[in-house]
């Protein structure tokens, strides 16, 4: 069933073309990830599909009776409680609780923070009955527990899904088709996220080859144009126009894979960086964490993780000396030059030009300023445009480069991935790989943390802030195992002891507390075999993708890989639950 059909849609604003004569269809069962750099038009595209934005030309149709539910970047609420805003039902209360708002269901939405309002809006979109679910950056302001739950819920959703997200794990887990918005055009990739990455690499390579041809042609045309001033007036106008058009085409090339060589002027750190000794933090009578002790070294790569509301941003504020600890002491070395990129970012005047905000409006920009902005894909035209013309993601990117331009040797990042596009995230990760300073980052972005941190400080419900080696992946698997253990125990107490286990070709986990160890071991042995078989299947498909060049075959294998990976994840889940059951029996 066709849910929504867009034909020949175009939209422009004063900054140029956003969508140019694009056509595509969303059908029942489609699971589409929408990607593209900040300002490319992803949110605009969603607005066109939902009818909130009217195209300049073309038409958007939906079948009669098709129900849509959408999470917008800027949700709007009436003067009501969170529970009323979502739907005032048992499911609404349960979803709000899973999103970390269980204790705020009766609070007025308009008194909540922006992040809390986003979570209320996400709950509202998830609870509403719909055939097409449209989500714009749903993982912003969610902690790891909520992201895991959201991934599981979206995996079970049977309707059409249209998802804009920078969360690469989420895109990889729940999408089977990618739609890339790039310079007004839509590029459809009939695979999931991994297949899209490979297809995009091939397209960029083709673009680079074409760009080489255009560059050579432009050089020859430029030489031709310079041959003697007297002959210039006699040259055919069409030939001159063609030459100038080729040169403009060459200059406007926008392949976004340049490096961020911003660390060449980073000041050297001494041996003493930042020391926290028995630091505790409270808000009013509420204790966030107690007695944290940590010594940051000059090459620190530290992540701060934990559920929402446990005090992660507060700890970062204490490290930055923006607030004093309730107890304990913070010592900062004399060579530290600190930059802090927080969730709010630097204040921006929408009427000010980008380049003036970057220089502080106190001096004329030099070539270094312009080169730095260009490395973050603010071209010459954008640099002299008012900030009000920028998208939300572009403003966030500007705030990030303004922090990096301070040439710090200690960098504090609070949820840096929110609202940044995937290209910027990859480039930032590459920059941090070689950056010689110390990094402390608060984030729930799984891929980002796996890439940039080596240790984590965990702040959780225990009120302890403990440093744990091994990085983010080790901690998150520990936390998932704890949740699975709790889930298995709950199932054990809720399921009747007389309920016989369902037997199929693969082992089934039951909650029967009277099951013998031999029965559990038998099922676990079967799970081992199924796990090995499923793993071999995934690895074989991954190997096939590496060798395929045919677009249709690549799409087919990519789709099959998505199914195989989901099947493998399900078997791993069964294996873990059986292991827990055996340990507890």
Half-sphere exposure (Cβ direction) of 176: Cα atoms closer than 13 Å = 20
Per the listing, tokens 């527990």 go with 145
Is domain 274-474 in CATH 1.10.3710.10, yes or no?
Answer: no
Q: Do 102 and 146 form a contact (C-beta atoms < 8 A)?
A: no
Going by the DSSP 8-state scheme, the letter that residue 104 receives in this structure is G
**Calpha distance 503→507 (Å, rounded):** 7
**Strand arrangement of the beta sheet that strand 438-442 belongs to:** 338-341, 410-414, 438-442, 301-305, 455-459, 465-469
Helices and strands (H and E) in the chain: how many: 19, 18
Q: In CATH, what number does 495-584 get?
A: 1.10.287
Torsion of CA 506, 509, 513, 514, to 10 degrees: -10
Torsion 63-66-69-75 (CA) sign: positive
Pull the structure tokens for residue 121: 């809006």
Spatial CB neighbours of 355, under 8 Å, sequence gap ≥ 6: 365, 369, 370, 373, 383, 384
Q: Please give the CATH topology (third level) of the domain spanning 2-197.
A: Rossmann fold (3.40.50)
**Calpha distance 296→188 (Å, rounded):** 46
Predicted local confidence at residue 489, as pLDDT:
53
SS (H, E, C) 518-544: HHHHHHHHHHHHHHHHHHHHHHHHHHH
Domain ranges of the chain: 2-197, 274-474, 495-584
2-197 against 274-474: fold identical: yes
Predicted local confidence at residue 266, as pLDDT:
79
Q: What is the DSSP string of 353-393?
A: BHHHHHHTTSS---HHHHHHHHHTT--HHHHTSBGGGS-HH
Q: Do 420 and 393 form a contact (C-beta atoms < 8 A)?
A: yes
- pLDDT, tens digit only, all 585 positions of the chain: 899 999 999 999 766 788 999 998 999 999 999 998 888 889 899 999 998 999 999 999 987 889 999 998 888 999 999 999 999 888 899 999 999 999 899 999 999 988 899 999 999 999 999 999 999 999 988 988 899 899 999 999 989 999 999 999 999 999 999 999 988 899 888 878 888 887 777 766 666 666 666 566 555 555 554 554 444 444 444 444 544 455 444 444 444 444 444 556 778 888 889 999 999 999 888 899 999 999 999 989 999 998 888 899 999 999 999 999 999 999 999 999 999 998 776 678 888 999 988 888 778 888 778 877 887 778 888 888 899 888 888 888 899 888 888 889 999 999 998 878 888 888 788 888 888 899 999 998 888 988 888 888 988 888 888 887 766 777 777 777 776 665 555 445 544 444 444 444 444 444 444 566 667 777 777 787 788 888 888 878 777 776 776 666 766 777 777 778 778 878 877 777 777 777 666
Predicted local confidence at residue 439, as pLDDT:
95
What's the whole-model pTM score? 0.68
Q: Exposed, middle or buried: residue 468 (CB in 10 Å: 0-12, 13-18, 19+)?
A: middle
Tell which residue, 66, 29, 36, 39, has the closest CA to residue 50.
66
Spatial CB neighbours of 145, under 8 Å, sequence gap ≥ 6: 100, 307, 479, 483
**Calpha distance 525→506 (Å, rounded):** 10
Predicted local confidence at residue 154, as pLDDT:
95
């Amino acid at each position: 069933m066709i849910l929504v059909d867009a034909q020949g849609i175009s939209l422009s604003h004063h900054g140029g073309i956003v969508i140019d004569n694009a056509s595509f269809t969303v059908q029942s069962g489609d699971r589409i990830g929408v990607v593209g750099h900040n300002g490319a038009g992803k949110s605009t595209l969603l607005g066109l599909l939902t009818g909130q934005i009217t195209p300049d030309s073309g038409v958007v149709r939906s079948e009669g009776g098709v129900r849509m539910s959408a999470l917008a970047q800027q949700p709007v609420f009436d003067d009501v409680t969170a529970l009323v805003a979502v739907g005032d039902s048992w499911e609404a209360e349960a979803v709000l609780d899973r999103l970390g708002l269980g204790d705020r269901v009766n609070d007025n939405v308009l008194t909540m923070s922006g992040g809390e309002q986003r979570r209320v809006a996400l709950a509202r979109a998830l609870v509403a009955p719909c055939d097409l679910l449209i989500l714009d950056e749903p993982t912003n302001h969610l902690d790891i527990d909520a992201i895991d739950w959201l991934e599981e819920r979206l995996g079970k959703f049977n309707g059409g899904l249209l998802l804009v997200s920078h969360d690469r794990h989420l895109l990889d887990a729940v999408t089977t088709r990618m739609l890339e918005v790039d310079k007004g055009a839509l590029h459809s990739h009939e695979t999931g996220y991994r297949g899209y990455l490979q297809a995009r690499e091939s397209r960029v390579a083709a673009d680079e080859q074409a760009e080489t041809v255009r560059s050579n042609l432009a050089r020859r045309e430029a030489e031709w144009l310079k041959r003697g001033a007297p002959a210039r007036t006699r040259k055919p106008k069409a030939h001159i126009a063609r030459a100038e058009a080729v040169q403009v085409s060459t200059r406007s090339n926008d392949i976004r894979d340049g490096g961020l060589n911003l660390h060449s002027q980073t000041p050297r750190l001494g041996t003493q960086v930042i020391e926290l000794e028995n630091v505790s933090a409270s808000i009013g009578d509420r204790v966030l964490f107690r007695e944290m002790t940590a010594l940051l070294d000059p090459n620190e790569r530290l992540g701060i993780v934990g559920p929402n509301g446990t005090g992660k941003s507060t700890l970062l504020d204490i490290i930055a000396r923006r607030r004093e600890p309730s107890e304990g002491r913070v010592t900062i070395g004399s060579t530290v030059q600190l930059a802090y990129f927080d969730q709010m970012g630097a204040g921006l005047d929408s009427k000010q030009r980008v380049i003036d905000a970057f220089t502080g409006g106190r001096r004329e920009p030099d070539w270094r300023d312009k080169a730095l902005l260009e490395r973050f894909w603010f071209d010459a035209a954008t640099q002299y445009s008012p900030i009000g013309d920028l998208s939300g993601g572009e403003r966030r990117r500007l705030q990030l480069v303004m922090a990096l331009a301070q040439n710090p040797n200690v960098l504090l990042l609070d949820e840096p991935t929110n609202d940044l596009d995937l290209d910027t995230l990859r480039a930032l990760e590459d920059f941090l790989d070689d950056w010689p300073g110390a990094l402390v980052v608060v984030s729930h972005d799984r891929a980002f943390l796996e890439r940039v941190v080596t240790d984590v400080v965990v702040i959780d419900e225990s009120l302890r802030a403990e440093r744990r080696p091994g990085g983010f992946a080790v901690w998150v698997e520990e936390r998932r195992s704890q949740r699975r253990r709790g889930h298995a125990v709950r199932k054990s107490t809720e399921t009747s002891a007389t309920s016989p286990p369902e037997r199929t070709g693969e082992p089934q986990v039951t909650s029967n507390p009277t099951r013998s160890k031999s029965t559990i071991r038998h099922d676990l042995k079967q799970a081992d075999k199924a796990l090995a078989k499923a793993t071999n299947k995934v690895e074989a498909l991954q190997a096939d993708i590496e060798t395929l060049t045919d677009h249709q075959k690549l799409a087919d294998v990519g789709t099959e890989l998505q199914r195989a990976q989901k099947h493998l994840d399900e078997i791993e889940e069964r294996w873990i639950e059986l292991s827990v059951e055996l340990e507890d029996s």
